[in-house]
Chain A
C-alpha cells in the first residue's frame, strides 16, 4: 500500500528556469495539498486540489506558481522563472474523499535548490 509519492526527491535549477514537482496521492485519495517549508520553519499551506479542480489556492504566490491535478496522472506544482527565494522543501499531502478531520498523509518532499 504505497504512500504519497513525490518526485524528484531533489531538484536543482538555475535562476530563470522552470521547476516541476510531481505528487501521486495515496491510492483512493482524491484530495491533494501542497505545502512549502523554508529552512528552520514550519510547513506553510500553498494550494488544495481535487481532481481537475483547484479548491483553495490562497497560500500560493500569484505569479510564477501554478498547480494542477488532472483526471489522469499526478498532481504537478510548477514554478516558472525560479529565483533564489524559491529554494525550499515542497511537501505534498493527500487525504480521502470524506476527509474532514482526518490527518493528511505526507510525501517525503522535494528539496528544490536554486543556483
Chain B
C-alpha cells in the first residue's frame, strides 16, 4: 500500500528566508504523480506544485520548487523568499490512479 510521510509536524521560518518541507513516500509503482497542497486558515485546498515521476527535472512554480529524488522516494518542497501569506498547512500527496493519498501535513509559521 502506498503511504506518504511528513516527518515535520511544524516548522517556522523568518520572513524572506528559505524553508524546506520534507516528504517521503512508499510505492512499488514506477509511474505516478506527486503534489504539494497548501491549506491556509480558510481551509481551502490549494495546489502548489505538481511533479510527474517519469520526469527527472524538478518542478518549479515561482518561489516554490521541489527536490524530487525518485530512488530515495523523497519529494521535498522549497519555499524561497517566504511571505506572511505562505503561513498554512502543507500537505504532500501521491497519486497513482484515481485516489490521492495525503500525508499528515506540516504547519508552517512565518515569523515577521
Q: Which residues on the B side are within 8 Å of A58 (C-beta)?
A: 99
Within 8 A of B (CB), among A24-58: 31, 33, 35, 40-45, 48, 55-56, 58
Of B14-22, B67-75, B100-108, the one touching chain A: B100-108
Size of B's binding interface in residues, CB under 8 A: 22
Q: Which residues on the A side are within 8 Å of B43 (C-beta)?
A: 89, 108-109, 111
Please report whether the interface of chain B is mostly helix, strand, loop or mixed according to DSSP.
strand
Q: Given A42-B104, A43-B91, A108-B44, check contact A103 B99 (CB 8 Å).
A: no
Please report whether the interface of chain A is mostly helix, strand, loop or mixed according to DSSP.
strand
- The interface bits of chain B over 2-23 (1 if a CB of A lies within 8 angstroms of the residue's CB, else 0) are 0010000000000000000000
Q: Which residue numbers of B lie inside 8 Å of A, CB to CB?
A: 4, 33, 35, 37, 42-45, 47, 50, 52, 91, 95, 97-105
